[in-house]
Amino acid sequence: MYEDRVIGILKDQKISLVASIPCDKAKDLCFLLPEHFPHICLTREEDGTGVCAGAYLAGGRPMMVIQSSGLGNMLNAIMSLSKTYDLPLPILASWRGVENETIPAQVPFNSAIPGILDAIAIPYTIIHDSREFDRIGEVIADAFAHSRPHVALVLPGAWDGPESCRTQTPLPSRKREIAVSYRRTVTEPVMVRYDAIRVIARHLDRQAVVSNIGVPSKELHAANDRSLNFYMIGSYTQASPIGLGLAAGTSRDVWVIDGDGSVLGTGILPVIGSAQPENLTIFCLDNGAFGSTGNQLTPAYTGTDIELLAIAAGFKNTWKANTGEELEQVITGLGRGPNFVHVMLKPGNSDVKNIPLSPHQIRDRFMAAMK
């Protein structure tokens, strides 16, 4: 089978983790991936950009396998994370919309992909048929050699061959009982985000920490700058995906300082709930606002309860903290995860200085400290 050959190519390239969303044209490959590699099944492609970034920062060799239409969901994350920090990101994309396509909705975006990738200077390699599958290895090698994204666009005809009847069998049981008893009191917040970050910062030792974009990263830098802090410059919604990728690649505890707007904007919570990484803790600092852009209110201000979302997503250990004392108690009692700590805050930004580090300096000292 051609899919087995591709699996062999990925192994030859020492791929250590695959993040994927299936495509019908490459469905047999998608069935095989979890059998041969540590695998994260995504719900949205852009989250894979963060997952792969985290896995690489932990010393791994990750890649993504997707349908090409998913590139449209990934473009901002690729440019603001992979390109900004110069992180390798090999992507195997089943290229829809250009060869015997029967679904009209696949055509407008997918037919424009080469021009789009050219415009943003992301290299790509077109795989026309199975005789060119060795070029997938070249794509992976180039991504890691030059610390950049590189896309293998695989035309559907490349998979043509003996008909396969491969399925995921036997299917695991879905039988389970679901019982939720949930009652929380949210008092009028007394802390702003910097108060909570200073509490968290006092407990930092060997943990790898990912801090959310904008002011939260600046506040963590002011509270406790350390090499094991990965400060995000951009990439809205990608803090927790990076944390998941890190946790998959290290035995070290990983803490993520995320926010309510960012958590509500990603599909990563169910992915974490499914993966159950025991070394991952998410601190959702919920001020009910988009803090770095002027404190415009989010749906979490008086509506959505994000701790309850985390429980529904599969987090076994969740807490809500309304005060600094409550947050201290939660942190000192943390055990194995995945953990979700929902910290209730009032809007407000501190007057802290910009981080005097370039993206490359943040990347390099973090990766050195992870060894």
What local confidence, expressed as pLDDT, does residue 167 receive? 58
Same fold for the pair 2-159 and 193-370: yes
Mean pLDDT of the chain: 95
Q: Residues of the chain with pLDDT > 90: what percent?
A: 90
What local confidence, expressed as pLDDT, does residue 291 receive? 85
Report the pLDDT averaged over residues 359-370.
Answer: 98
What local confidence, expressed as pLDDT, does residue 153 receive? 98
Convert the pLDDT of each residue in 216-261 to its tens digit. Answer: 999 999 999 999 999 999 899 999 999 999 999 999 999 999 999 9
CA proximity to 288, closest of 164, 209, 203, 188: 188
- Band (pLDDT 50/70/90 cuts) for residue 169 is low
Report the pLDDT averaged over residues 345-371.
Answer: 96
pTM of the complete model: 0.96
Class of CATH domain 2-159: alpha beta
Please report which residue ranges of 78-174 form alpha helices under DSSP H. 107-110, 113-119, 134-145
Convert the pLDDT of each residue in 293-320 to its tens digit. Answer: 888 999 999 889 999 999 999 999 999 9
Cα dihedral 52/39/99/24 (nearest 10): -140
Report the pLDDT averaged over residues 79-92.
Answer: 98
- From CA 62, how far away is CA 136, in angstroms rounded? 14
Cα dihedral 36/40/44/50 (nearest 10): -110
Predicted confidence (pLDDT) at residue 164 exceeds the cutoff of 80 = no
3-state SS record for 331-349 = HHCCCCCCEEEEEECCCCC
Report the pLDDT averaged over residues 192-208.
Answer: 98
Strand partners, 145: none
HSE (CB half, 13 Å, CA atoms) of 281? 24
* Cβ(163)–Cβ(35) below 8 Å: no
The CA-CA-CA angle for residues 212, 292, 305, to 5°, reads: 70
Convert the pLDDT of each residue in 25-60 to its tens digit. Answer: 899 999 999 999 999 999 999 999 999 999 999 999
Question: How distant is the alpha carbon of residue 279 from its chain centre?
Answer: 16
Q: Residues of the chain with pLDDT > 70: what percent?
A: 98
To which residue do tokens 């942190």 refer? 331
Report the pLDDT averaged over residues 78-104.
Answer: 96
The CA-CA-CA angle for residues 321, 324, 326, to 5°, reads: 45
Locate the domains of the chain by residue range: 2-159, 193-370
Higher pLDDT, 259 or 161: 259
CATH architecture of 193-370: 3-Layer(aba) Sandwich (3.40)
Convert the pLDDT of each residue in 114-145 to its tens digit. Answer: 999 999 999 999 999 999 999 999 999 999 99
Could you tell me which residues come within 8 angstroms of residue 30 by beta carbon, excluding any fewer than 6 positions away?
Answer: 20, 22, 23, 65
- Band (pLDDT 50/70/90 cuts) for residue 345 is very high
CA proximity to 255, closest of 226, 235, 233: 226
